[in-house]
């Protein structure tokens, strides 16, 4: 039985069923694209003709040696064979609305491919860049969305370790989904918890090499507070100029960034009016004194005690009255929720060129039939949904 099992499960998706129509992101180890199921492909629950998915492409030769621009933490991740780790992590999780779940893992002679749920509306980073500071009600919605996502991951003993707006995508329903579980790890595995993904979102303890095994979840809650600050201000709480500088100056800047995080030296922009309750929760989650910081220690529950909840954060005035249950069922209308599922093959704005066919031999690369505008930073606002979000 080709592709199917004796028990009559549907035939598996094959690379040859997919068309690569767009590249949406470049990471340290490869690129992320959008694929569309070819017309006339075999029947399959996910294989609805025209369905779109994200595909993370890992070049096999890239994985064999350390790329020059890869940081030490990332290089260690490669040694542990990063795509395998991401596949393992995703395959241990049940399907959840706030995690970009995995459909399949495929390969050809040049690449490994991880096929996941697509964030049709792009990343949270792009949203903040396009729209600037988000209204308090939107910040609250996304914050609560991410609290539930983290509670789910931590309830499964998985620590994300690289939570940041680039690693959060927005689904067609307007809800956020966490992606990039490449360096995530299970709390009981032997590893160095101080090596997390991105300095700007790293907690002081991790930078000091002092994350204790009992409280590894705290690295994700710290990052979440940095993200809430970023949503409210469209600025990094611990800003860094490294990307724009080179050599010694960059190194100095980076050392200064590390110093500022360890000293918990940050402030609110003076030229913006920000909700005082939002400010309060960020200040309490980024408190320099670990003992006084809220939400960073969440007692693990025994099985059968129900889903893990961060009671301390849920009790804060910023979200105390939030309809958590409704959010968990995706029963709220999300901010900027579009009226229809966007079709990536119709988008005229592309941020990256498509790869050459020879570099993705197992996939069919399909150039768009319309004229595309590539590499423009000042893209048209991607999200054309409701402008105002009401609580």
Ligand X SMILES: Nc1ncnc2c1ncn2[C@@H]1O[C@H](COP(=O)(O)OP(=O)(O)OP(=O)(O)O)[C@@H](O)[C@H]1O
Kindly list the residues in this chain that would bind ligand X in the complex (CB under 6 A).
24-25, 27-29, 32, 54, 56, 100, 116-119, 123, 166-167, 169, 179-180, 182
* Closest listed residue to residue 382, CA positions, set 353, 349, 333: 349
Which of residues 163 and 228 has its CB atom nearest to ligand X in the complex?
A: 163
Q: Taking CB within 5 to 8 Å according to partner kind, which of Mg ion, ligand X, none is near residue 24?
A: ligand X
274-286 in b/e form (b: 16+ CB < 10 A) is beeebeebbebbb
Dist CA 189 CA 235 (whole Å) = 34
Residues 345-384 close enough to bind Mg ion by CB under 5 A: none
From the list Mg ion, ligand X, none, which binds 200 (C-beta under 5 to 8 Å, kind-based)? none
The DSSP-derived string for 341-383 is: ---GGG--EESSPPPPGGGSTTSEE---SS--EES-SSPPPS-
Residue span 124-143 as binding mask against Mg ion, x where in contact by CB under 5 A, dash where not: --------------------
- Which does residue 47 bind out of ligand X, Mg ion, none, counting CB within 5 to 8 angstroms by kind? none
CB under 5 to 8 A by kind: which of Mg ion, ligand X, none does 169 bind?
ligand X
Nearer to ligand X, 74 or 293 (CB): 74
Cα–Cα distance list, 52 to 17, 103, 126, 127, 167 (Å): 12, 12, 20, 20, 19
Question: Can you say whether the dihedral through the CA atoms of 177, 132, 120, 353 is positive or negative?
Answer: negative
Which DSSP letter does residue 99 get?
A: B
* Beta strand pairing call for 102-107 and 111-116: antiparallel
| Distance between CA atoms of residues 192 and 185, nearest Å | 10
> By CB under 5 A, is residue 184 in contact with Mg ion?
no
Cβ closer to ligand X: 115 or 282?
115
Please report, as residue ranges, which positions from 143 to 182 form the binding site for Mg ion (by CB under 5 A): 167, 180
Q: Which is nearer to ligand X, 48 or 67 (CB)?
A: 67
Given the complex with Mg ion, which of 28 and 215 has the nearer CB atom?
A: 28
Binding site for Mg ion (CB under 5 A): 27, 167, 180
């Amino acid at each position: 039985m080709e592709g199917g099992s004796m028990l009559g499960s549907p035939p598996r998706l094959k690379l040859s069923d997919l068309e690569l129509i767009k590249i949406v992101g470049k990471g340290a180890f490869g690129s992320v694209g959008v694929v569309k199921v070819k017309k006339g492909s075999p029947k399959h629950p996910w294989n609805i003709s025209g369905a779109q998915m994200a595909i993370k492409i890992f070049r096999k030769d890239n994985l064999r040696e350390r790329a020059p621009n890869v940081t030490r933490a990332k290089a260690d991740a490669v040694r542990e064979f990063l795509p395998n780790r991401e596949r393992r992590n995703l395959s241990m999780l049940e399907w959840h609305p706030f995690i970009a779940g995995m459909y399949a893992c495929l390969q050809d002679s040049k690449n490994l491919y991880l096929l996941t749920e697509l964030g049709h509306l792009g990343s949270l980073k792009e949203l903040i860049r396009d729209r600037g500071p988000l209204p308090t009600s939107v910040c609250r919605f996304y914050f609560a969305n991410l609290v539930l996502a983290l509670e789910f991951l931590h309830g499964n003993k998985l620590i994300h370790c690289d939570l940041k707006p680039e690693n959060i995508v927005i689904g067609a329903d307007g809800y956020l989904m966490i992606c990039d579980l490449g360096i995530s790890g299970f709390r009981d595995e032997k590893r160095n918890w101080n090596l997390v993904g991105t300095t700007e979102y790293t907690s002081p303890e991790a930078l000091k090499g002092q994350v204790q095994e009992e409280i590894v979840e705290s690295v994700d809650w710290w990052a979440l507070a940095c993200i809430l600050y970023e949503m409210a201000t469209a600025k990094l709480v611990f800003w860094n100029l490294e990307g724009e500088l080179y050599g010694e100056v960059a190194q100095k800047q980076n050392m200064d960034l590390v110093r500022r995080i360890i000293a918990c030296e940050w402030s609110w922009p003076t030229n913006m009016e920000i909700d005082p309750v939002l400010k309060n929760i960020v200040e309490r989650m980024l408190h320099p004194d670990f003992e006084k910081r809220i939400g960073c220690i969440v007692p693990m529950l025994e099985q059968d005690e129900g889903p893990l909840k961060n009671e301390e954060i849920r009790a804060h005035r910023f979200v105390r009255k939030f309809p958590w249950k409704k959010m968990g069922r995706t029963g709220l209308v999300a901010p900027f929720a579009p009226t229809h599922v966007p079709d990536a093959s119709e988008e005229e704005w592309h941020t990256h060129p498509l790869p050459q066919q020879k570099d993705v031999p197992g996939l069919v690369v399909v150039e768009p039939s319309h004229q595309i505008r590539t590499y423009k930073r000042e893209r048209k606002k991607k999200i054309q949904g409701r402008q105002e979000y009401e609580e």
